[in-house]
Chain A
Amino acid sequence: MKKVFTRTKTYKDVPTHYCPGCGHGIAHRLVAEAIDELGIRERTIGIAPVGCAVLAYNYLDVDMIEVAHGRAPAVATGMKRTNPDNIVFSYQGDGDLAAIGTAEIIHAAHRAEHLTVIFINNAIFGMTGGQMAPTTLLGQVTATTPGGREVSSNGFPLNICELLSILPGTIYIERCALHKPGNIRKAKKAIRHAFELQIDDAPGLSLVELLSPCPTQWRITPAESLKWIEQEMMKAFPLGCFKDYKPEK
């Protein structure tokens, strides 16, 4: 019988620690598939964030490092500058990238570092117990916004793609969502493209934001989470490609 699907080599065959319905498993697999399809496993270095995905190295079979909260883009800079032939990517959540690490991502972008960033936006702090993230939606109830997020005390959701796409140092910025097969396929294409640009030594930083479900901290079922992404998150964080790189001919 013809084999139509197999686990990609870079995605380890181990039990997951992620909660049922969590988006990290899908995102990890897409990253692993992109790495294998592009044949870069043996030259890739991955950076795991602080948060639920700190254990990403348990699933992704490439050289990996675990870094301080938010500092991945600085660590990645140190790696890529000293090893330009390696492919360096960071995998960061919204607390990591959009709260404590905002300075590092903005400056890695403005220096046009040749890096690939996978940004998981689930509108909440997952591992610490469901506190407000910079990307938490207005009105969203979290452990630290018990009455729902209000502008007066908590400000607005932070739109990272829109913010970074105006910097000349970024070359490719796209927001995708992991809530249905069609969009997951688009996400895969985007991740692959972000790696391809680095392989081609394109002159800047690529970032793919993935709207990702966190049913545990959203306090709804996995099925409801997928609907919530479509009905609520995508209003505040519209999908699309904000910027792409076209090499000069």
Chain B
Amino acid sequence: MSGNEAMAEAAIRAGCDAYFGYPITPQSEIPAYMARRMGQENRVFVQCESELAAINMVFGAAATGKRVMTTSSSPGISLMQEGISYLAGAQLPSVIVNVMRGGPGLGNIAPSQSDYFQGTRGGGHGDYRTITLAPSTVQEWVDMMPLAFDLADQYCNPVMILADGILGQMMEPIEFKTVPGRKLPQKDWALTGCKGREQNIVRSLWLADGVLEDLNLKIQDKLREIEENEIICEQSQTEDADIVLVAYGVSARIVRTAVDLAREQGIKAGWIRPVSLWPFPMDVINAAAQDLKMFLVVEMSHGQMIDDVKIAVAGKCPVAFFGRAGGGVPTVEQVLDKIRELSILSDN
């Protein structure tokens, strides 16, 4: 079972009522898996005419209160941005998985992390954020699916999962665990037909003076609450470290090995791995910056998450970068060389 298929199965087990998707490499196993399994479960699968249609089918099904998911890879996610903005504006829960590939443009089908800005800033119009989570192993991706649906339902907000082509294609032993779900609010806003109640309207257009401003403030309050409660982050060996590496997803696995090797060579290195990219673990990084010589951010891009690290560090120490993009994957040796180089520089 590839990471793509394992994630799809986990979504089904998390109660995904409907899946809408369009084939694109390196995630095409997902629609194929869903076509087979959703039918077996008597749930809804539609292969759409475009990602634009897919995200709008998500919009429609989510508005009726169903648990809904779509998946794609970078160019397809770009095409979905209009719909994601509408989901955020109408405050509809949904799960969107991006198995990132190389860009810009048609790019290539190799793994990449160059959609961090798109995932954490929102590629669509208007003031909104998607809750954005980044798994680094297939097991973590599988475990993340029930959480993703719960977060979407709890906050009535789209949740995006940023995986990449490596995670989508790799096979790792996994276990499907049963975890108790969160206590979630009733979907009394859902469009089900107005039987025994007044009509429900799902909308994002507010023309009257001040109403849209109020809605924006309400959304911002919700986003602050998410920042308060939903940060997920892992760290290791940061307490005595001179240099701390920050990486997410597959890059974090490379970094972890490079840090262990650096420690063997007597370099006091540690690592921080943001799992929630939005909300970003600002406080964790800011606290670590206190007694540190420097951070090294490693990404499969030419520097996107580094912006958030710099915001978090707030000038307390230097922030260095190593990254490869367009399908290039940093090797352990390259990261280790960079650690050594920075370590010598900071000693001099």
Contacts and interface: CB of A to CB of B under 8 A. Distances in A.
Contacts of B46: 77-78, 81, 111
B290 interface: no
Contacts of A111: 46
B57 A44 contact: no
Given A57-B199, A78-B68, A63 B192 contact: yes
A107 B53 contact: yes
A104 interface: yes
A71 B193 CA distance: 21
B53 A64 contact: no
Contacts of B204: 66
Nearest to B54: A74
Given A63-B199, A66-B204, A75 B56 contact: yes
Interface in B6-54: 17-18, 20, 44, 46, 48-50, 52-54
A43 interface: yes
A63 B191 CA distance: 6
B323 interface: no
A22 interface: no
Given A57-B201, A57-B203, A66-B203, A82 B195 contact: no
Interface residues of A, number: 32
A74 B61 contact: no
Nearest to B62: A78
A107 B44 CA distance: 17
A41 interface: yes
A43 B195 contact: yes
A49 B18 CA distance: 24
Contacts of B18: 78, 81-82
A61 interface: yes
Interface string B179-223: 000000000000111111001111111000000000000000000
A167 interface: no
Contacts of B194: 41-42, 61-63
B191 A65 contact: yes
Contact of B49 (A44, A86, A107): A107
B237 to A, nearest CB: 47
B278 interface: no
A138 interface: no
Nearest to A87: B193
Nearest to A64: B201
A68 B203 CA distance: 10
A65 B53 contact: no
A71 B85 CA distance: 14
A45 B191 contact: yes
A221 interface: no
Nearest to B86: A68
B199 A62 contact: yes
B52 A81 contact: no
Given A54-B205, A61-B199, A71 B20 contact: no
A184 B155 CA distance: 46
Given A65-B202, A68-B56, A68-B83, A86 B192 contact: yes
A84 to B, nearest CB: 10
Contacts of A75: 56-57, 59-60, 63
Given A57-B201, A103-B49, A64 B56 contact: no
Given A42-B193, A104-B53, A71 B83 contact: yes
B257 interface: no
A163 to B, nearest CB: 16
Nearest to B200: A63
A136 B154 CA distance: 46
Nearest to A78: B60
B82 interface: yes
Given A42-B195, A45-B191, A67 B86 contact: yes
B169 interface: no
Interface string A47-83: 1000000100100011111111001001111110111
B324 to A, nearest CB: 36
Interface of A: 41-45, 47, 54, 57, 61-68, 71, 74-79, 81-83, 86-87, 103-104, 107, 111
Interface of B: 17-18, 20, 44, 46, 48-50, 52-54, 56-64, 66, 68, 82-83, 86, 90, 191-196, 199-205
21 contacts: A41-B194, A42-B195, A44-B193, A54-B205, A63-B200, A65-B90, A66-B201, A68-B59, A71-B56, A71-B59, A74-B48, A74-B54, A74-B57, A75-B57, A78-B18, A78-B46, A78-B63, A86-B64, A86-B193, A104-B56, A107-B53
